[in-house]
Structures are given as C-alpha cells and as structure tokens.
Amino acid sequence: MALLSFDDRDGTIWMNGEMVPWREAKTHVICHGLHYANCVFEGERAYNGKIFKSKEHAERLLASAEILGMPFPYSVEEIMAAKDAVMEENGVVDGYLRPVAWRGSEQMGISAKQTTTHVAIACWEWPSYFDPEKREKGITLKTSPWRKPAPDTAPSKSKAAGLYMIGTLSKHTVEDAGYDDALMLDYRGQVAEATGANIFFVKGGELYTPVPDCFLDGITRRTVIALAKDAGITVKETKIFPEDLPTFEECFLTGTAAEVTAVGKIDDLSFTVGPLTKQLRGTYEKLVRGE
C-alpha cells in the first residue's frame, strides 16, 4: 500500500506569517535551503492541546538559525503564537509540530548572504514514534558505521537539516540489518546518541548519559535529568565507551518523538526494561500531560 504523502494532506500550514492550504505550502526548487542545506527545524509535541516546552523549542529554532548565520525574521514570542494558531486552525490536540526555516532563492552559490529566510510550521495528529509493543519489550539498536562529527567540523549545537544526512545513512544501514535505530558513536569513538534521540544507561540505581559536547543536548534529555534528580536519582554525565556497555543493566532513549523509550538490545547485548526506565517513563508521561 502506498504511503500517504506528507505533501498531499488536508489542513493548513503557517508559512511566512500566513495560513496556507496544506497542498499549496511550497517553495521553489532553486532555494538555497534545498541545494546547500541552509535549513533548520524543530520537532515538538502537543499533549491535551498544549505544546510541551514551546518556548524552549522556539528558542532553539532561533539559536539554530543564528549558528548557521541565518537571519531569523520572527521573535520567540511570534513563533510561539504562530504554533498555537496553527494547532488551533488544524484542530490538533495530541500531535506533532514541525517548524522549519530555510534560505530562499535570491542567490545561487555557496554564499547565501543575499537570501531571505522563510519559515513554516506544520502540525498533525501523531501517536507514539515507535511501535507500542516494541516500547514495552525495548527497541533494538545497532552501532552505526557513521560517526557524529567533531564540533569544529559541523554545527553540532544547531538542529540543522544537513546534520541529518548522517542520521538517515545510519538509520538505513541498521534498518537493513533488522534493527530499529542506530547507536551513534562520536568522532572519538565514544557513545553519543541515537539518530533522533539522546541515550541513557542505568547501573546500580544510577543514571549515566554522555556529555552532549558534539550532539544535541535534547530538551527531553534535560527534562528527564531534572525529573531523575527530583526523584533523588544520581545522574552522571560522563564519557561512555562501547566497552562500557556490558556493565549497564538498563538503557533508554529520550527525545520529543521517542519520549522515554526502552532499549532492549544494542548489537548482541541485551538490556532489561527495568525499574528506573519504567519510573522515568511514567513521570515523563505524567509531566507532558500536565498531571
């Protein structure tokens, strides 16, 4: 069965300050964003009609654009208001939001200084990222042959579209081998994250997670660290090497889309969907729903 294409849907997209019918929210094939990856985006979720951490996501969108030197034509408050407006326009209550900003077509070449920045925000109803059954058993990860680049090689603090080329290559490689997602090592060979989510491990009742010095310090990551600390759980942000993996009992991913997702296997190594993963998944679910 053919998948329903994302550009062929009913609904409305906020684009450059206006509400545009979904199928007409287009940009030109010559735009700089397409040719040279001058494009940044966000992924956000709304629960019970409220966007979770809307301000943090708007701030990160503007910060990502600034890292790429892309002038951003709206304030954080304007983006927050636009997100609420597009949710209301589409009647989305529990869903996903995709703000995206890209450079236009005024200039063709590597320099983009003469281009204007376009911004669009789409939203749609969206259930859990991973198959719910897999969430209970834990998803499977395989170490990617591709690595996260050094921070002086790529703008790793920006949620820049260009960085996802590595993620897509990695995800395709591991999907071909029958795994759900890729474990990304960084340029030093340290454990970094998954392709669209951060990673945590549990050992002796304590949480371990890599230092986000060459990948996104996710909003969910920071939220889960705060929830863990509130619950009296020790959180160690530290270097983690592949040879450390057998010492951990539990493993989970965090991300807007993934929420808190248990990992059951990395390569040939098994992890239990244990008490800390379940506890933090539960507290995170309550928090996002405002309970």
Angle between helices 219-230 and 54-67 in degrees, nearest 10: 130
CB of 212 to ligand PLP, least distance (A): 9
Question: For ligand PLP, which stretch binds (CB under 6 A), given 29-37, 217-225, 227-235, 276-284?
Answer: 217-225
Tokens of 46: 């709304």
221 binds ligand PLP (CB under 6 A): yes
- Give the three-class secondary structure for 182: strand
210 binds ligand PLP (CB under 6 A): no
Residues 17, 85 contacting (CB under 8 angstroms): no
- Give the residue with the Cβ less far from ligand PLP, 238 or 270: 238
Residues 195, 185 contacting (CB under 8 angstroms): no
**In degrees rounded to 5, what are phi and psi of residue 132?**
-55, -35
Q: Which residue is nearest to ligand PLP (CB)?
A: 218
Interface residue with ligand PLP among 218, 263, 273, 284 (CB under 6 A) is 218
CA distances from 227 to 230, 246, 247 (A): 5, 26, 24
Q: What letter does residue 160 receive in the DSSP assignment?
A: B
Q: Which residues contact 154 (CB under 8 A, 6 or more apart)?
A: 162, 163
Contacts to ligand PLP from residues 18-37, by CB under 6 A: none
Site residue total, ligand PLP (CB under 6 A): 14
Contacts to ligand PLP from residues 150-209, by CB under 6 A: 193, 196-198
CB of 218 to ligand PLP, least distance (A): 3
Provide the 10 A C-beta neighbour count for residue 41. Answer: 17
CB of 101 to ligand PLP, least distance (A): 15
**Residues assigned a catalytic role:** 159
CB of 148 to ligand PLP, least distance (A): 9
Handedness of CA 238, 243, 248, 251 (dihedral sign): positive
From residue 99 to residue 128, the character string flagging contacts with ligand PLP as x (rule: CB under 6 A) and all else as - is ------------------------------
**Binding stretches for ligand PLP (CB under 6 A):** 43, 193, 196-198, 215-216, 218-221, 254-256
